[in-house]
């Protein structure tokens, strides 16, 4: 598979088969992704591969906390505090596209809540990946981490697996750190669902659009 093909094939998958992912595949994915570049070869990534009973315990705590009404607070500011155009419009369109696909009405708060709660179960994927980094690292390491995450997602396709990168899995950092034994001196950046795609699930049937290169590129000669 060409890299360009993997980039086009990658999507945020939100429904997975109840099928175990072989540890050998996970190890191959992480080994390949470890070749991602990082400033002065700092390699800031720390990865938690969460499955089985530990995943069940962790996701139950996060989901129940969410449903109790306690708003999660990430270790860092992921989204802007004020949304301006064109980003505000893209964000709205993204949510509307999913709800329209699932036929969830704007006034149906219960189904909207249930759909969002699925985030904290990593959409019931068999594997939840959580990504940590020492708090001493600075902005450049966030850039490095992005390249590492993309490398994981592209290599997963080569292994016949699907992914969904998730900021939501980092919304309750205290729960994650206490459950998994990570220090408060770490930052949890995000999580990722990993597994075999349920190709018949309606939620996996749509694709978000991409801007033409003319909209974000300027050529200087």
* Contact present, 132 and 179 (Cβ < 8 Å): no
Q: Classify residue 105: in a domain, yes or no.
A: no
Cα 55 to Cα 21: distance, rounded to the nearest angstrom: 14
Q: Classify residue 89: in a domain, yes or no.
A: no
Q: Is 212 exposed, middle or buried (0-12, 13-18, 19+ CB in 10 A)?
A: exposed
Q: What is the CATH number of the domain that holds 172?
A: 3.40.109.10
Q: Classify residue 103: in a domain, yes or no.
A: no
Q: Classify residue 91: in a domain, yes or no.
A: no
- H or E stretch including 127? strand 127-134
Domain that holds residue 151: 3-80+120-205
Cα 73 to Cα 40: distance, rounded to the nearest angstrom: 31
Cα 216 to Cα 221: distance, rounded to the nearest angstrom: 17
Q: Classify residue 107: in a domain, yes or no.
A: no
Q: Classify residue 165: in a domain, yes or no.
A: yes
Q: Classify residue 59: in a domain, yes or no.
A: yes
Mean pLDDT, 10 residues at a time, the chain of 221 residues? 93 97 98 98 98 98 96 95 96 92 90 94 98 97 98 98 98 98 97 98 94 97 96
Number of domains in the chain: 1
Q: Classify residue 158: in a domain, yes or no.
A: yes
Cα 64 to Cα 113: distance, rounded to the nearest angstrom: 12
């Amino acid at each position: 598979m060409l890299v360009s093909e993997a980039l086009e094939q990658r999507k945020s998958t939100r429904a997975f088969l109840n099928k175990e992912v072989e540890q050998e595949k996970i190890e191959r994915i992480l080994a390949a992704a470890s070749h991602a570049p990082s400033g002065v070869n700092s390699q800031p990534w720390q990865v938690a591969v969460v499955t089985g009973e530990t995943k069940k315990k962790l996701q139950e705590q996060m989901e129940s906390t969410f449903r109790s009404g306690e708003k999660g607070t990430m270790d860092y500011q992921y989204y802007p505090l004020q949304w301006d155009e064109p980003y505000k419009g893209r964000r709205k369109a993204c949510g509307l596209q999913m709800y329209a696909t699932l036929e969830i009405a704007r006034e149906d708060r219960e189904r909207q809540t249930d759909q969002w709660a699925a985030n904290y179960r990593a959409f019931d994927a068999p594997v939840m990946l959580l990504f940590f980094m020492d708090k001493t690292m600075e902005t450049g390491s966030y850039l490095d981490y992005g390249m590492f995450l993309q490398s994981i997602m592209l290599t997963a396709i080569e292994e016949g697996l699907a992914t969904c990168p998730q900021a939501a899995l980092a919304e309750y950092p205290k729960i994650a750190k206490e459950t998994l034994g990570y220090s408060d001196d770490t930052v949890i950046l995000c999580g990722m669902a990993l597994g075999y795609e349920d190709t018949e699930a309606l939620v996996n049937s749509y694709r978000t659009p991409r801007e033409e290169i003319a909209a974000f590129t300027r050529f200087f000669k």
